[in-house]
Structure 1
Amino acid sequence: MNKRILAIGAALGATTIYGLNHTIAKGVMPTYIQPFGFIVLRVVGAAFLFWIASLFGPKEKIDKKDYPRLCLAAILGMGFNMLVFFKGLALSTPINSAVLITTTPIIVLILSALVIKEKIGAQKFWGIGIGLLGALGLILFSSEVRQDAPNIPLGNIFILMNSVFYGSYLIVVKALLSKYNPLTFMKWLFTLGIFICLPFGYDEFSQIAWSTLPFEAIWPIIFVIVGTTFCTYLFNIFALTQLKASTLSVFMYVQPLVGIMYAIGTGRDNLTIVKIAGACLVFLGVYLASRRPKKS
């Protein structure tokens, strides 16, 4: 089979897993496991899998001069990013999560302008404004009362913070990804993530009632560790070997569609006027911010 077709399948598979994750991970929090305890499980499980996988990759050592950047990448990408996302997901709804997560390209654009002085044209400027307006609408006007979503506005703020931390991580990690084999890099990143997340999640992790966990809680935990964390990264890395980064970013638009359809199909969430209006503004903003302006 053509490698490009396989790469497209891998990219589609990764974004589909991400879309399903909003509802699947939400389903076990907080009934069976608290968000920070879940993150400890996630980083420990992923670190173990990447160490096993690295046995089949090249033997590399991290240069001492790269230690500070590696630690910062772990703090942003494997620490604060995951912690605020799962906390937000526990407080909010799967549809809000699936929509707000797509603001990441807008956040990256803003950070790029601030950190590396990348120029922002009129089209991208309007895209940033419209996208953030949609996100703000979801935060301020989400007044649903749900037992499984105790504080939707605060949860939405946490999910938006996830985009900020992840966008910062992408900028910090860029130089390291071009220097080291992905398996070498990720095994150390997730290993550092354990030490970063453990102080926040140890109490919640120790409260997990392992002996009474039903299958309906076990399989989502496995899905998050193996699917959402380990497989998606490998899928995206393979896709990048055959596709341009700009092409791969297009698949991001599939994630909220999968997330919304799965959440509604399983009865875990419902559409409201606020969600529809906010989603439309976010999608339009991301489209304008990500679209290449026409050459004059």
Structure 2
Amino acid sequence: MKNQYRVHAALFLVTLIYAATYSLAKDLMPVYMHPFGIVTLRVLGASIFFAVAKQLAAPHDKIRGRADNLRALFCGVSGIGLNQLLFFSGLNYTSPISASLLQTISPIVVVVASAVLLREKITLFRLLGILVGAGGAAALILSRPAQATIYPHATLGNIYILLNATFFGLYLVLVAPLMRKYHPFTVLGRIFLIGALVAVPFGWREALTTDYAHFPPKIWAEVLYMVFFLTILAYLLNNWALKYASPTLLGVYIYLQPVLAVLIAVALGKDTLTWDKAGQAVLIFVGVWLVSKKPKRSPARDGVLAAQD
């Protein structure tokens, strides 16, 4: 029973960390830092941490074989490099609520990717869920935001977030076999190193030219939050909790994340919830629910809350 409480605590903390990111990142971008500069700090910090952790926890564990190394390469490119670059670029252009809602479609992408890559069967309910969820996402992407003057490039930002969720869904399907076969720190150390090689060339100039001397304490705290809490702590808590959490429990927290993101964004004055967004949210939620209806236990689906931002 105590362990179950710990699982809930870990999943809730991770969900809260992700939910707060949508609003807190708005304090950083673009006034103090640009998106790629934030990504550079995140992946470099996490790469160093997980490289050290791997040497301490599993010094002799090594990813072997051409197939596993190619899988790790794709996971690092899609799940870390492109995922991070697209997420912060999209969030820079769109509103926190829109970004959080579009992120929710990752389970739909997992089902589609599993059907294509793992030849898993798509039931009628899941097919309907894919169509409904896609309709909600399309309506959200193409809608004109209420704060059009604040987010003039919201459509582009929404497309980036959709691509981010797509790459994340593919990553979840492909990383699961590696997590089962090797120590988590071995996998995370490798994929973050690859992700850094992808992301840093895009963001090193932004990271170096940032005027850190004029950061107020609040901004420094948010930079620390992005590097430590959002990247390192979220990955660690997820990898532990996913060993014990059921798919049903994970589904609860999938829905909770955008709800918390909306509450935080509205409370901090970063966004407003309109009837249009509420309707689009309902379509996406219904789609995700249909897709997740009576799922078979699958490591790919069980990992749907793994670190995405």
Under a length normalisation based on structure 2, what TM-score does the superposition of the two structures give? 0.90
Return 5+ residue gaps in structure 1 as ranges: none
Residue pair 1:137, 1:274 contacting (<8 A) in 2 also: no
Distance 1:138 1:100 in 2: 8
| Pair 1:269-2:262 in alignment | no
CA–CA distance in 2 between the matches of 1:43 and 1:67?
A: 20
Question: How far off is 1:246 after superposition?
Answer: 4.6
Distance 2:47 2:248 in 1: 28
Please give the alpha-carbon distance, in whole angstroms, between the structure 1 residues aligned to 2:244 and 2:56: 21
Q: Is the 8 A contact 1:16 1:258 kept in 2?
A: yes
Q: How does 1:173-212 map onto structure 2 within 5 Å? A: 173-212=175-214
Provide the rounded CA distance (Å) in 1 between the counterparts of 2:149 and 2:56: 46
Note if contact 2:108-2:291 (Cα within 8 Å) is conserved in structure 1: yes
How far apart are residue 51 of structure 1 and its match?
2.6
Deviates more, 1:186-195 or 1:77-86: 186-195
CA distance in 2, matches of 1:126, 1:283: 12
> Moved runs in structure 1, 4+ residues, more than 4 A?
none
Matches within 5 A, 1:52-131: 52-59=52-59, 60-65=61-66, 66-131=68-133
- Asked whether 1:166 is paired with 2:181, we answer no
- Following TM superposition, by how much is the alpha carbon of 1:203 offset from its aligned partner in structure 2, in angstroms? 2.5
- 1:28 to partner: Cα distance: 0.7
Matches for 1:238-253 after TM superposition, within 5 Å: 238-253=240-255
C-alpha distance after superposition, 1:126-185 (max 9, x if no partner)? 111111111111111133345653311111111011111001111221111111111121
- Aligned to 2:243, the other structure's residue is in SS state helix
Q: TM-score by structure 1 length? A: 0.94
CA distance in structure 2 between the partners assigned to 1:243 and 1:271 by the alignment: 31
Contact 1:129 1:285 in 2 (8 A): yes
Deviation at 1:284, TM superposition (A): 1.0
Instruction: Report Cα offsets for 1:181-235 as digits up to 9, x if no partner.
Output: 1112112211121111112212322221111122222111111111111111111
SS in 1 for 2:242: helix
Within 2, Cα distance between the matches of 1:197 and 1:134?
A: 30
Residue 43 of structure 1 contacts residue 193 of structure 1 at CA under 8 Å; is this kept in 2? yes
| Aligned counterpart, 1:134 | 136
Q: CA deviation at 1:245?
A: 4.2
- 1:8 maps to which residue? 8
Contact 1:87 1:155 in 2 (8 A): yes
* Superposed CA offset, 1:240-291 (max 9, x none): 2222345324311110011000000011100112211111111111111111
Distance in structure 1 (CA, Å) of the matches to 2:168 and 2:26 = 20
| Structure 1 CA distance for aligned equivalents of residues 249 and 57 of structure 2 | 27
**Contact (CA 8 Å) 1:39, 1:86: kept in 2 or not?**
yes
- Structure 2 counterpart of 1:48, one-letter code: I
Structure 1 pair 140/146, CA: closer, same or farther in 2 (3 Å)?
closer
Q: Secondary structure at the match of 2:105?
A: helix
Q: Distance in 2 between matches of 1:203 and 1:146?
A: 30
**Structure 1 residues 126, 255: closer, same or farther in 2, change over 3 A?**
same
1:48 matched to which residue of 2? Answer: 48
Partner of 1:19: 19
Distance 1:246 1:118 in 2: 19
In structure 2, what is the Cα distance between the partners aligned to 1:290 and 1:108?
10
Residues in 1 aligned to 2:226 and 2:247: alpha-carbon distance in whole angstroms: 24
Distance 1:249 1:236 in 2: 14
Q: Secondary structure at the match of 2:28?
A: coil
Q: Is residue 91–residue 155 contact of structure 1 (8 Å, CA) maintained in 2?
A: yes
Moved more, 34-43 or 186-195: 186-195
Percent of residue pairs bearing the same amino acid type = 35
